A and B are shown apart, each in its own frame.
Chain A
């Protein structure tokens, strides 16, 4: 059994601090919207496709609304106005709106305004129901073809070409993978639009597009039926189009999304306000669609040192959990992230990694957790690298991780070859099979190295949470408390896409998801 290490009261204190830390952020979220949230709204109404120069229609429309200074009423409102102008389709609505003199358009009579909102609300309700039906279809497949036991083995494909990715994903599923992640093309997170259609060119990965999602999910549905075992699909809801990606993923029946409340701020230098607002709407969608999120705390210890910064992982996990819960996500949807990243040249690393993983398990007993493999200290001796990964496999099964991204022996060399993935899956299956239940056999002594380290790390995490509580999240991020990365509130990319809501702001999807 994992040790207790800390008292329930201490854990409750951490949760309370995290909740109070995020209070002011939720005020910010309630007051503002972003251009990407509004694009998501339009997508949900069925606005799809691209204009003459290849720009997505939702971008054309929201850019026009923003330029006219009226985006603060909400894209849904303007969509409704277009319908009342006689628009017969979402495309027609976009054309009418981009041509309309929005700056001078007068409000309708109050009764007409109310009617417009009722009509748009009804359409939103139908769109939500359609999404729910798609999700129900996914859940049926999952019930019919149950997944293998956790830890679910998660592997990455990254060819740049969605059709090659399909071949690799099928092969990985056949070799025992439970979750397939399609890595995104480098720097897609900084694009302020989502590319359209199936793509065959990418750098370091494959573009996340709705069509690519559909193509891959269809292939995995087919593979799941053949294997009699459901294979999950995940992608990345991060960057400037966080909520649009969440919607597309939900619609195309993905199962999981990388989705972190602070990752974009710290690691992609995306503006803080933009990220906080976008993550909320994206997480609302994940909650509705039963998507499991994966948070990104593992990244902290690729920039900062895993030994020195272990407490920042724990503190951030409490904050991420709080953001998630307040967006309606349930425990089973929280793939809280952490990783096996201690320098293997140091002594006691297996004990210390066990300590950290057990502490995370202790703090989040009902969350699936997402365990990441070593990357930072990977060298190019593949034989050592393989042994190193196997230790992470052991810790994963020992601490009941729900999701385990498998390490690749060629990490630090190239994107995984098909054979690399096979070798990793074979070894992880062996370790999981061999050691499942080990936590029930061994009790961790409360006066040993593992427990001491866990108490020490938790104590420092509480200190950091207290600091964030005292000075605010923004100041703590400004001081580089997370991942050694410093960011300012008005710095980074995408701040110009943040819009303060008007008093009559209208977003029927948000109303429905918030249950108002």
Chain B
């Protein structure tokens, strides 16, 4: 079957003008020559009609640029595979009702920043009562039982506690990403999870500002949640996972808001 193409370019002021905006710093003193360097740099990126809008002395030996230019890149929007949406994302009250009626017990979730990571911002946003951007955290859902173990929790400890409470899902948050420490620790978590025999039984989720679904799958998690994730996204995902593990929903069923 051949699909019709839908060719798109960046939209600046009119269709297909390809205009994009970028900013960057070059390690040279601000000067006309530095501006030329920015021009050249952008041309080598494949951009045309390069306009160096700002070239500012960020420090003695550094110049900060803001550039507008045209990108010749064209992509076929129809080439991108996105799963078919079959289930609507449920809101706070609807999801509680859904769990009450379809699952009939509380969904148990454990979360922590594991390894050396001390940044609980992400896991707190998802689990704490308050939630994030007006979207309630899992602790607020009467049909979720959420345990937030905080930061610097050893992977094995998180897994042990989750097994003790027969958790449905474990959320691993990784904020610090310097030198890919998040990947290393996430791999370690999966090794521990395999050793504990919970892979495929509990839903294992990875979250953080530099995490995406693809990376999480590669590392062996069931899903990955990146920046902008709302607690309700995680809540919906976990509830559907439980349904699928209980055989009450077909495996691989897609729904609105799932990580892709």
Q: If A174-B59, A203-B116, A303-B120 touch, does A412 touch B227 (CB 8 Å cutoff)?
A: yes
Q: B64 contacts the other chain (Cβ, under 8 Å)?
A: yes
* A69 to B: closest C-beta gap in Å: 31
| Chain A interface bracket (under 10, 10 to 19, 20 to 34, 35 or more) | 35 or more
Q: A188: shortest Cβ distance to chain B, in Å? A: 10
Q: Which of A285-322 contact B (CB under 8 A)?
A: 302-305, 308
List A residues 368-415 near B (Cβ within 8 Å). Answer: 375-377, 379-380, 412-415
What CA separation (Å) do A268 and B130 show in the bound complex? 21
Give chain B nearest CB distance to A405 CB in angstroms.
16
- Residues of B near A379 (CB, < 8 A) are 133, 227-228
Contact code string B50-66 (vs A, CB < 8 Å = 1, else 0): 00000010111110100
- The verdict on B93 contacting chain A, using a C-beta distance below 8 Å, is no
Q: Tell me the total A-B contact number using a CB cutoff of 8 A.
A: 91
Q: Residue on A with the closest CB to B58? A: A422
Are the CB atoms of A268 and B118 closer together than 8 Å? yes
Q: Are B178 and A160 in contact (CB under 8 A)?
A: yes
Contacts A187-B116, A187-B118 given; does A418 touch B176 at CB 8 Å: no
Least CB distance, A240 to chain B, in whole angstroms: 13
* Cβ A415 vs Cβ B178 within 8 A: yes
Flag whether A278 is at the interface (Cβ < 8 A).
no
A415 to B209, CA, bound (A): 12
Q: Quick check: is B39 within 8 A (CB to CB) of the other chain?
A: no
Question: What's the nearest-Cβ distance from chain A to residue B202, in Å?
Answer: 25
Q: Does A172 contact B (CB under 8 A)?
A: yes
Are the C-beta atoms of A418 and B58 separated by less than 8 Å? Answer: yes
Q: How far is the CB of B186 from chain A (nearest CB, A)?
A: 15
CB-CB nearest in chain A for B59: A171
Within 8 Å of chain B (Cβ to Cβ): is A423?
A: yes
Q: How far is the CB of A359 from chain B (nearest CB, A)?
A: 22
CB proximity to A under 8 Å, residues B38-81: 56, 58-62, 64
Contact A419 B25 (CB under 8 A): yes
Asked whether, in the complex, the Cβ of A203 is within 8 Å of the Cβ of B118, the reply is no
- Across the interface, B58 reaches (CB within 8 A) one of A380, A413, A419, namely A419
Which parts of A175-202 form the interface with B (CB within 8 Å)? Answer: 175, 186-187, 189-190, 202
Q: For A415, what are the chain B residues with a Cβ–Cβ distance below 8 Å?
A: 178
Given known contacts A418-B25, A423-B64, is B58 in contact with A203 (CB within 8 Å)? no
Q: Which of B117, B176, B178 has the most CB of A within 10 A?
A: B178
Q: Is chain B's interface secondary structure helix, strand, loop, or mixed overall? A: loop
Report the minimum CB–CB distance from A350 to chain B (whole Å).
Answer: 18
In the assembly, what is the distance between CA of A187 and CA of B178, in Å? 13
The residues of A that contact B177 with a CB separation of less than 8 Å are 414
A415 to B178, CA, bound (A): 9
Cα distance, A418 to B58, chains bound together (Å): 8
Which residues on the B side are within 8 Å of A485 (C-beta)? 150
List residues of chain B with CB within 8 A of the CB of A328: none
A284, CB-defined interface residue at 8 Å: no
Q: Cβ of A414: which chain B residues have Cβ within 8 Å of it?
A: 177, 209-210
Hey, which chain A residues are within 8 Å of B179, CB to CB? 160, 203
- Point out the residue from A160, A413, A417, A419 that lies within 8 Å of B227, measured CB to CB: A413
- The answer to whether the Cβ of A3 comes within 8 Å of any Cβ in the partner chain is no
A459 close to chain B: CB less than 8 A: no
A170-B58 in contact (CB<8A): no
Residues on B with beta carbons closer than 8 Å to the beta carbon of A413: 209, 227
Residues of chain A lying within 8 A (CB to CB) of residue B228? 379-380
A198 to B152 CA separation, bound complex (whole angstroms): 26
Contact in complex: A422, B150 (CB < 8 Å): no
Q: Which of B111-139 contact A (CB under 8 A)?
A: 116-118, 120-121, 124-125, 128, 130, 132-134
The chain A residues found within 8 Å of chain B, CB to CB, are 160, 170-172, 174-175, 186-187, 189-190, 202-204, 267-269, 302-305, 308, 343, 345, 375-377, 379-380, 412-415, 417-419, 422-423, 426, 484-485
4 A-B pairs with the lowest CB-CB distances in the bound complex, closest first: A171-B59, A422-B58, A174-B59, A419-B25
